Amino acid sequence: MSMQRLEFLVKLERLLEGIPDSERKEIMSDFETHFEEAREMGKTDEEIVRSLGSVQSIADEIIEQYRPHAAPSGGSGEEKPESGERKEPFQAGGLNFDLPNFGHSSPERDLAYGHVGAAIHAANIMTDMADVFTESYDGDTFAYRFDSSDPEQYEVIEEISHDTYNIKVMLRRTGAKRFFSFISSAGADLHVRVPQSFRGSMRLHSNSGDVKLRYLQNEQLHIQVNSGDASIENSSIGLLRIDAKSGDVEMENCRFGVLEAEALSGDLAMENVAAQRAHLKSTSGDMELEDVEAGELVMELLSGDLNVRDGRGVNWSCSTASGDVKLVRIAADVEAASASGDVAVQDICGTLRVDVKSGDIRCAIGPDTGACYIDNVAGSIDARLASSIRQMQLEASALLGDLSLNVPLLQRRKGSDGFFEGGIGEGGPLVRLSTKVGDVNVKMD
């Protein structure tokens, strides 16, 4: 599925959050069918999205019908509006499974549902003390395989309820085992196969155990891992949310509409990932990003380090409290802030804003770097200018430190102790370097 299609569908679904679930699903399926049909007619997703018009106005028209007073009178009987409130499919903690009749169902029984993949719009996977492997396959039913050297210890429950596929792996915690299960557990693997046609929303909750996902195409995916690592590869997801409490998060070869990832104490790594919008957070872990494309990208770290190489986008920002930041070869407007970490930037194609309180700043400014505003309070600034720069305006100040400029061709207009204003040639981007208690060094390669 193309990004345009995903983006359209995800946005529409989000805008329709306020209407009853069943109605929203029906509308979503109207639009999904529209895409399929228009594709049959040889149109590209881009053309289809363009002729569908604004998502907002479509949603507005639908929501209009749910206003009080606009309520349908004498309906056809086909619509059964539920209570106006939207039923939240998941509890915040994720542990309260709202399924009254959790029965055992054999794979044979599931096959009796026929084209399950097409009729299923949501999937929930919950596990405890097991690793989970989820990937799509060329079939039309959900299927699972459970491997454990001590299967007696586990209870596996699979069920299809309305349009939702549920699978749950629980450890039989009885007596002492209840407390010591983490010692005696034999470990287990749950493999879940997702039909290729499944595009709905999926939720995966692992209490303890790693989670690995591959080749998925979902509208929405929410992964929650309490203690274990999460990795997702070769997938295309409209809206992905990952919450990892103590494990690492890894993403590789993926396309996302919206990505929200949070690793509390683990590291976060991304390679060859594209997203329209991404928000990454970590508390004590590091972030390592390579070959990343994102229109809007926000990276928030507390004590971990951030390392980004080869990125493309529009507006990027990152902040750390005590970790270091290193950004290399980024084509985007970049803002980097750190309280006490060091910041190093190199080959930025776009504007650059750096704000540091007490770390050191090193930056290499190239001919494609736009305006730079580099501010420090109690640390030094080292700026290296590429020799190919022909035009640039420079303002540098070191209030209580030394200012040294080693740049041929630099012409001074104003200046005094610890302050310089001038430039190379006429015009060009403004580079402003300022620190209060620290040195400023500028040199040209």
The binding site for other proteins (CB under 8 A) comprises 27, 30-34, 36-38, 40-41, 51-55, 57-58, 61-62, 64-65, 72-79, 118
- Reduced to 3 states (helix: H, G, I; strand: E, B; else coil), residue 28 is helix
Q: How far is the CB of 259 from other proteins (least distance, A)?
A: 25
Q: How far is the CB of 147 from other proteins (least distance, A)?
A: 35
- In the complex with other proteins, the residue whose CB is nearer, 12 or 275, is 12
376's tokens: 């420090």
- In the complex with other proteins, the residue whose CB is nearer, 75 or 107, is 75
The radius of gyration computed from the CA coordinates of the chain, to the nearest angstrom, equals 27
- In the complex with other proteins, the residue whose CB is nearer, 53 or 68, is 53
- In the complex with other proteins, the residue whose CB is nearer, 40 or 85, is 40
Contact indicator for 191, 169 with CB cutoff of 8 Å: no
- In the complex with other proteins, the residue whose CB is nearer, 12 or 318, is 12
Is residue 367 classed exposed, middle or buried when 0-12, 13-18 and 19+ CB atoms within 10 A define those classes? middle
Q: How far is the CB of 21 from other proteins (least distance, A)?
A: 16
Q: Where are the beta strands (DSSP E) in 245-305?
A: 249-263, 268-282, 287-301
Q: How far is the CB of 192 from other proteins (least distance, A)?
A: 24
Q: How far is the CB of 55 from other proteins (least distance, A)?
A: 7
Q: How far is the CB of 242 from other proteins (least distance, A)?
A: 30
Q: For residue 164, give the nearest of 197, 102, 122 by alpha carbon.
A: 122
> b/e per residue, 182-215, with b = 16+ CB within 10 A?
eeebeebbbebbbbebbbbbbbbbbbbbbbbbbe
Q: How far is the CB of 137 from other proteins (least distance, A)?
A: 20
Distance (Å, whole) CA 248 – CA 253 = 17
- Reduced to 3 states (helix: H, G, I; strand: E, B; else coil), residue 421 is strand
Contact indicator for 397, 419 with CB cutoff of 8 Å: yes
Is residue 310 classed exposed, middle or buried when 0-12, 13-18 and 19+ CB atoms within 10 A define those classes? middle
Q: How far is the CB of 177 from other proteins (least distance, A)?
A: 48
- Reduced to 3 states (helix: H, G, I; strand: E, B; else coil), residue 95 is coil
Q: How far is the CB of 7 from other proteins (least distance, A)?
A: 14
- In the complex with other proteins, the residue whose CB is nearer, 73 or 101, is 73
Q: Which residues contact 71 (CB under 8 A, 6 or more apart)?
A: none
- In the complex with other proteins, the residue whose CB is nearer, 78 or 108, is 78
Distance (Å, whole) CA 153 – CA 188 = 10
Q: How far is the CB of 74 from other proteins (least distance, A)?
A: 5
Q: How far is the CB of 114 from other proteins (least distance, A)?
A: 12
- In the complex with other proteins, the residue whose CB is nearer, 58 or 230, is 58
- In the complex with other proteins, the residue whose CB is nearer, 34 or 178, is 34
Q: For residue 213, give the nearest of 252, 259, 179, 174 by alpha carbon.
A: 252
- In the complex with other proteins, the residue whose CB is nearer, 65 or 411, is 65
> What letter represents residue 15's amino acid?
L
- In the complex with other proteins, the residue whose CB is nearer, 28 or 327, is 28
CB atoms near residue 2 (< 10 Å): 15
Distance (Å, whole) CA 128 – CA 232 = 19
> b/e per residue, 30-59, with b = 16+ CB within 10 A?
ebbeebeebeeeeeebeebbeeeeebeebb
Contact indicator for 287, 306 with CB cutoff of 8 Å: yes
268's tokens: 């976060």
207's tokens: 């209490």
